[in-house]
A and B are shown apart, each in its own frame.
Chain A
Amino acid sequence: MTPVASQPHVYADLDVLRRTWSSRPGLLGWLSEINHKAIGRRYILTAFIFLLLGGIEALLMRLQLAKPENTFLAAARYNQIFTLHGTTMMFLFAVPVMEGMGIYLVPLMVGTRNVAFPRLNAFGYWMYLAGGLFIYGCAFFGMIPDAGWFAYPPLSGPQFSPGKGVDVWAQMITFTEVSALCVAVELIVTILKMRAPGMSLNRMPTFCWSMLVQSFMIIFAMPAVMIASTVFLLNDRTLGTHFVNPAEGGDPLLYQHVFWFFGHPEVYIIFLPALGIVSSILETHTRRQIFGYPALVLSLVGNGFIAFGLWVHHMFATGLPQIGEAYFTAASMMIAITSGVQIFCWLATLWTGRLRPTAAVHFVFGFIFIFVMGGMTGVMLASIPLDLQTHDTFFVVAHFHYVLIGGALFPLFGGFHYWFPKFTGRLIDETLGKLSFWILFVGFNLTFFPMHWLGIVGMTRRVYTYVPGLGWEHANLLATIGAFVILSGGLVFIVNVLRSRRSGPRAGSDPWDASTLEWETTSPPPPYNFPNLPVVPTRTPLWTPSAERAIVTGLREDRREILITSVLDAQPHHRSVQPRPSIWPMLTALGFSVGLAGSIFAFYWYYVASVLGMVGLIGWFWPERPLEVKP
């Protein structure tokens, strides 16, 4: 794809460009890495390690529940494990992995050289890593949270959760939320201000749209959880405040309101990027422009808004006023419309496209099957009478695993098979890919479909065991078997990835004949992404004849210069110089981490955090000579 340099003064001098944008060598260079592709890769890999940990925890739980009155795990241990499982999957896997995809792909898709704030990006990753290490490190010291992943007070309060476990949990939230907010700011500014010339908002790939909406949701949702976990819970536990203490004018329900005001959007924060992934895969593999682009984008935005209006459906059983409940039922049902529109658009695309049945497409079909079923049970849960019966039972467990695994994990795996050539430069083995899909699909339904029934026949969630004779034995055993099928499917996937990375056939820059910009550059992309930034004439640039496509010249190659464009129609506005790699983001994150970790023991550690963080920031922003590589 790189233009032949017939007129050297027009086209980029690749050696200089490479020298300008490449990272420092060695360990120091690794620690001060700020390239969005490297950071994105780190996010994805770290998240996958946590996925494995969460999966192991899930298997342990299934083993315990395989038969009634099982003694494989003690009550205390089981509570710790399901708390860790939920926390890991929500905060340490699902959100970060989607952010990783965004960080890696968005700059490529909008045709720029890096994210808007590379150092903030690095900082965000280090905070996320620190948070993960923090909670799992404390586990070795016996400080394991055991109040569930939403830690309702008073159970999680100072009196009923002695020890430090819940404090660790609450502070770990702070780590991951800081990182999530950093990424959100990154992506919003990258998407709004750094799109390639000509890529007006209505020419933006749906994946970028989904990341944009998701980032805005993060910005409005995450502060809420920080308030719930840090201000309410942690301060109540360590400083003796009374936000959720009924004896002193507080209210346990306050915590639930604030937490779910975050907690429900959280689901869509995980799920919107997946929708973007599905659209990308379908557009490429049906070889037609996705049907109903405006409808898709509008329903994405609609999802974003509605998601903030229905948190109360997590609290129907607390007995709130009738009228409010009616409203929240209606709102919860409304979300089905925006989701429905997207499904319809994809179906239309499928009907009129020429489908290439790759592994990625298999995962998309799995997504449609599982997610639609999850949506149906979701509609049931939106109805208050049904919710009062199924709330806090395994029916709900089944529902949100259908929505989250079906709605997020399957598209994610599809996305892996789809972008694998871009990530690694090699094609992934289709046969193994399809095999892993079928095993995962069967295993998933084997595990979670019986749980619907378990909920209906009265099995409550979060029980470490159950008495025999209630007719729960068979379904539980089935689910446990299914869990191991899922495990084997995961193993096949891992093997496939490792094998293909080493020995897969070379993929060109565009193995799929895809439509979006990330396929224009070589795979894996060079540190500067594009020799010349592209100019975007249509919504599917790579499907427009290259004669009609122009490229950008005149950006200096001897320093990290990028092009800033206008928000709506991406007119070039000015050039801007990006900072060099720096160790300071890592050091700043380290300082904050030490302070925050200490803060669960004594308040003054917050001051330590502030001072260390301030020092770090000063080093971070201290003026430096802009990099000038002599040609």
Chain B
Amino acid sequence: MRYVAIGCCLLTLIGCKRERRDVRPSPAVSGILGDAAGESTLRPGGGAATQNVRNPYEGNAYAISEGQRLFNWYNCSGCHANGGGGIGPPLIKKDQRDWIYGGDPSNIFDTIVKGRPNGMPMWGGKIPEYQIWQIVTYVRSLNNLEPKAATPSRPDSLEQKTNTILYGKDGGSQP
């Protein structure tokens, strides 16, 4: 009986984590970047400094959908298409070793904030920090690095026509 109770509590935690909608930036996401735009304590290449930083939105469904919206609003899709890649490298990795600068949340965050050689601009100080984390969460969800239960099967928006075959294949097991 006691185990049932404990199990329920755990489920509740998981459920809430996934369903939570903190519409306002949570305090957890401020202060990595200095308030003054730009200068960040992060080192290029996802240095040690960011190892202790964890994604406040990990496994949060609302953050994933927000990240997806921003991915288009801020025109990430301009270079990366819808994860398939274009001018920029694909974000949907065939193999997790393909991440150039690492696929951990802190690495991706770092990449967006500092920018990378060969075209990835520096977004730190432009995009507010909590939104960067939301984009990070979305990018990871593209690679199923986020819990499946929190990830939508596909985007519905008109401006992008995603590679749905790919979603379908890992989305639903063949009936």
Q: List A residues at the B interface (Cβ < 8 Å).
A: 76, 138, 140-144, 153-154, 157-160, 162-165, 235-240, 242, 245-248, 601-604
Q: Give Cα distance in the complex from A141 to B16, angstroms.
A: 6
Determine whether the beta carbon of A159 is less than 8 Å from that of B171: no
Determine whether the beta carbon of A163 is less than 8 Å from that of B62: yes
- Contact residue among A160, A164, A245 (Cβ-Cβ distance under 8 Å from B149): A164
- Contact residue among B19, B23, B172 (Cβ-Cβ distance under 8 Å from A240): B172
- Contact residue among B11, B154, B156, B171 (Cβ-Cβ distance under 8 Å from A141): B11
Q: Which residues of A contact B15 (CB under 8 A)?
A: 138, 140-143, 164
Determine whether the beta carbon of B172 is less than 8 Å from that of A603: yes
B142 within 8 A of A: no
Most buried by B among A76, A154, A157, A604: A157
Q: Give Cα distance in the complex from A236 to B148, angstroms.
A: 15
Q: Give Cα distance in the complex from A434 to B37, angstroms.
A: 71
A selection of 12 A-B contacts at a CB cut-off of 8 Å is A141-B14, A142-B19, A144-B19, A158-B155, A158-B156, A162-B61, A162-B64, A163-B62, A239-B153, A240-B172, A602-B173, A603-B175
Determine whether the beta carbon of B18 is less than 8 Å from that of A164: yes
Determine whether the beta carbon of B157 is less than 8 Å from that of A247: yes
Determine whether the beta carbon of A239 is less than 8 Å from that of B62: no
Q: Give Cα distance in the complex from A152 to B152, angstroms.
A: 17
- Chain B: minimal CB distance from A626 (Å): 40
- Contact residue among B11, B150, B172 (Cβ-Cβ distance under 8 Å from A239): B172
- Chain A: minimal CB distance from B150 (Å): 8
Q: Give Cα distance in the complex from A154 to B154, angstroms.
A: 12
Q: Which residues of A contact B144 (CB under 8 A)?
A: none
Q: Which residues of A contact B21 (CB under 8 A)?
A: 76, 163
Q: Give Cα distance in the complex from A239 to B175, angstroms.
A: 10
- Chain A: minimal CB distance from B172 (Å): 4
Q: Which residues of B contact A138 (CB under 8 A)?
A: 15
Q: Which residue of B lies closest to A250 (CB)?
A: B156
Give the secondary structure class of A's interface: loop
Q: List B residues at the A interface (Cβ < 8 Å).
A: 11-12, 14-16, 18-21, 23, 61-62, 64-65, 68, 148-150, 152-158, 160-161, 164, 167-168, 171-173, 175
Besides A140-B15, A239-B171, A601-B149, 20 more A-B contacts (Cβ < 8 Å) are A76-B21, A142-B18, A143-B19, A153-B156, A158-B155, A159-B65, A159-B156, A162-B62, A162-B150, A163-B61, A164-B15, A164-B61, A237-B153, A240-B154, A245-B156, A246-B158, A247-B157, A247-B161, A602-B148, A603-B172
Q: Which residues of A contact B171 (CB under 8 A)?
A: 238-240
- Chain A: minimal CB distance from B116 (Å): 28
Determine whether the beta carbon of A163 is less than 8 Å from that of B154: no
Q: Which residues of B contact A248 (CB under 8 A)?
A: 161, 164
Give the secondary structure class of B's interface: helix
- Chain A: minimal CB distance from B138 (Å): 11
Determine whether the beta carbon of A159 is less than 8 Å from that of B157: yes
Q: Give Cα distance in the complex from A159 to B154, angstroms.
A: 7
Q: Which residue of A lies closest to B149 (CB)?
A: A601
Q: Give Cα distance in the complex from A153 to B173, angstroms.
A: 24
Q: Which residues of B contact A153 (CB under 8 A)?
A: 156
- Chain A: minimal CB distance from B164 (Å): 6
Q: Which residues of B contact A163 (CB under 8 A)?
A: 18-19, 21, 61-62, 150
- Chain B: minimal CB distance from A154 (Å): 5
Q: Which residue of A lies closest to B14 (CB)?
A: A141
Determine whether the beta carbon of B65 is less than 8 Å from that of A160: yes
Determine whether the beta carbon of B155 is less than 8 Å from that of A603: no
Q: Which residue of A lies closest to B19 (CB)?
A: A142
Q: Given A141-B11, A240-B172, A247-B160, do A158 and B19 touch, yes or no (CB 8 Å)?
A: no
Q: Which residues of A contact B172 (CB under 8 A)?
A: 235, 238-240, 603
- Contact residue among A140, A237, A238, A603 (Cβ-Cβ distance under 8 Å from B12): A140
Q: Give Cα distance in the complex from A162 to B172, angstroms.
A: 18
Q: Which residue of A lies closest to B65 (CB)?
A: A162
Q: Which residues of B contact A603 (CB under 8 A)?
A: 172-173, 175
Q: Which residues of A contact B12 (CB under 8 A)?
A: 140-142
Q: Given A142-B20, A143-B15, do A240 and B168 touch, yes or no (CB 8 Å)?
A: yes
Q: Which residues of B contact A142 (CB under 8 A)?
A: 12, 15-16, 18-20
Q: Which residue of B lies closest to A242 (CB)?
A: B164
Q: Give Cα distance in the complex from A162 to B138, angstroms.
A: 12
